[in-house]
């Protein structure tokens, strides 16, 4: 009976990680949509939903500590719990970065962008794909998928550099647009950091699956 309860709690922990990843994915998507469309209401929804992300992350942390303290897990189970404990931190921070993007939407107050937003939504799509792939690698304990997912960060970094150079060119041409350009620079950096957090997820999945500590960033 005790063992069955333990296995149920461990499975619930994994399910909560998947749910947290899903919530964060929605925040990232909606924050960038709000920015592109100047949608203040959607931006406010993103900010408001961050509390649910924080609460779930906190619940996951408590579950991890309870399982370690009461069940004294060994080997793979211990690595799984330790990985969940670290993953929830990265996911919560990714949610915070999505909120920062939503705040940029509100701060700009509907002012026209200095250029059509094409590459920033592409960055959003790329980091969300990394996030979802990393969560799947956690679900399946798939280190190969984790390695492949982390490799995508090079594409995110390349697109970030492209966006940054283009925006700086706009700034040289028209310094009066400093505020608008700075906001988009911040957003592109937030997305680049989300990609870095996705790589952290992959590193932890590899540890969970193999016991090897790797550094992929």
CB 190 within 8 A of CB 121: no
| Domain span including residue 162 | 2-210
Write out pLDDT tens, residues 132-167.
Answer: 999 999 999 999 999 999 999 999 999 999 999 999
Does any domain span residue 6? Answer: yes
Does any domain span residue 76? Answer: yes
Alpha carbon distance 145, 84 (integer Å): 17
Does any domain span residue 215? Answer: no
End-to-end CA distance of the chain: 43
Does any domain span residue 216? Answer: no
Give the CA angle between residues 37, 40, 45 to the nearest 5°.
Answer: 110
Residues 26-35 as b/e (b if ≥16 CB within 10 A, e otherwise) read bbbbbbbbbb
Alpha carbon distance 138, 204 (integer Å): 9
Alpha carbon distance 57, 23 (integer Å): 11
Helices (H) and strands (E) counted in the chain, each on its own, are: 7, 0
State residue 74's pLDDT score: 84
By residue count, the chain amounts to: 217
Q: What is the mean pLDDT of each run of 10 residues along the chain (217 residues)?
A: 78 97 98 97 98 98 92 88 97 98 93 91 98 98 98 97 94 89 96 98 97 90
> What CATH number has the domain bearing residue 129?
1.20.58.220
Alpha carbon distance 56, 86 (integer Å): 14
Q: How many domains does one find in the chain?
A: 1
Write out pLDDT tens, residues 37-62.
Answer: 999 999 999 999 999 999 999 999 99
Q: Outline where DSSP puts E strands in the chain.
A: none
Alpha carbon distance 32, 117 (integer Å): 10
Does any domain span residue 217? Answer: no
Within a 10 A sphere around the Cβ of 63, how many other Cβ atoms?
20
């Amino acid at each position: 009976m005790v063992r069955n309860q333990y296995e149920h709690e461990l499975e619930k922990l994994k399910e909560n990680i998947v749910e947290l990843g899903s919530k964060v994915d929605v925040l990232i998507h909606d924050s960038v949509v709000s920015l592109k469309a100047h949608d203040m209401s959607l931006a406010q929804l993103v900010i408001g939903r961050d509390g649910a992300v924080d609460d779930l992350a906190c619940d996951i942390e408590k579950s991890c500590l309870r399982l370690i303290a009461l069940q004294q897990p060994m080997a793979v189970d211990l690595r799984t719990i330790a990985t969940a404990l670290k993953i929830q931190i990265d996911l919560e921070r990714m949610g915070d970065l999505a909120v920062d993007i939503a705040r940029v939407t509100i701060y700009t107050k509907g002012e026209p962008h200095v250029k059509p937003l094409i590459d920033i939504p592409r960055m959003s799509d790329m980091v969300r794909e990394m996030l979802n792939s990393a969560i799947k690698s956690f679900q399946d304990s798939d280190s190969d998928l984790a390695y492949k997912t982390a490799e995508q960060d090079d594409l995110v970094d390349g697109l970030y550099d492209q966006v940054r150079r283009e925006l700086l060119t706009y700034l040289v041409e028209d310094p009066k647009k400093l505020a608008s350009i700075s906001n988009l620079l911040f957003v592109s950096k937030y997305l680049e950091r989300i990609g870095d957090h996705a790589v952290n997820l992959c590193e932890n999945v590899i540890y969970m699956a193999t016991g090897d500590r790797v550094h992929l960033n």
